[in-house]
Amino acid sequence: MTLNEYRKKRRFSATPEPQGKKSALHKSGTSGIFVVQKHAATRLHYDFRLEWNGVLLSWAVPKGPSTDPSVKRLAMQVEDHPLEYANFEGVIPAGEYGGGTVMVWDTGTWDPESPDVNAALKKGDLKFQLHGKKLRGSWVLVRTRGFGSATRTSWLLIKHRDQYARADDITVAKPASALSGRLLAEVARDGGGDVAKAASGDPNGAAKPAARANRTKKARAKRAAR
């Protein structure tokens, strides 16, 4: 696990993403950080990252995590990211690798459910607990055959049945940043990015200002009715 591929893909003179320092190895069996970043790049996707051995193991999840145990979400493993990436929320300039808007959609800590994480990763069956602001309880990443390549293996991200399982779509129910409370369009606006493209990743993206006005109208009507 090194950051060579991560660094090779990026020009740090042009992107605000962190270059990554050498960091202390994480002791196995203790909890590490996890982060889910919502990324409006060429296509909208969610990047699911688990701290392990001093880096963030990373998977691109096109549809984002689902808290419904009957739903399996494709997760393509991508290059390890530096730990500092967990706090990155902002705009990667157009034309750079992964150009687009990035939001910290969820963050917290994770614990493996079996002590030997390296063995679980090698086997392609990693069970873990998430202690996030949005995602909680027991999950599994299972490697699959069929899709992917040598460098991008495909996995499935699945929620286990427990008290945190829910049938509704959490990406729609809780669309805002876990760090700043902003929607994707607001992150794009503040960072000088493509606001329209980012807005299309927010629920009811294009209709958002109208929806807001509507809510205000409703609140006003409610007050008036009192």
Shortest approach of Mn ion to residue 158 CB, angstroms? 20
Per rule CB under 5 A, is residue 194 in the interface with Mn ion?
no
From 16-24, 32-40, 118-126, 172-180, span contacting Mn ion (CB under 5 A): 32-40
Q: Is 212 helix (H, G, I), strand (E, B) or coil?
A: helix
Token reading at 55: 């880096």
Shortest approach of Mn ion to residue 67 CB, angstroms? 21
Token reading at 14: 């042009």
DSSP letter at 66 equals -
What would the x/- binding string for Mn ion be over residues 35 to 74, using CB under 5 A? ----x-------x---------------------------
State how far Cα 95 lies from the chain centre. 22
Q: Is 160 helix (H, G, I), strand (E, B) or coil?
A: coil
Count of residues near Mn ion by CB under 5 A: 2
CB 14 within 8 A of CB 93: yes
Distance, CA of 121 to CA of 106 (rounded, Å) = 22
Shortest approach of Mn ion to residue 58 CB, angstroms? 8
Q: Which residue is nearest to Mn ion (CB)?
A: 39
Residues of this chain, 109-138, that bind Mn ion according to CB under 5 A = none
Token reading at 132: 């996030």
Shorter beta-carbon distance to Mn ion: residue 39 or 197: 39
Shortest approach of Mn ion to residue 219 CB, angstroms? 36
Distance, CA of 156 to CA of 140 (rounded, Å) = 8
From 1-9, 33-41, 82-90, 207-215, span contacting Mn ion (CB under 5 A): 33-41
| Paired residues of 101 in beta bridges | 40, 91
Q: Which residues bind Mn ion (CB under 5 A)?
A: 39, 47
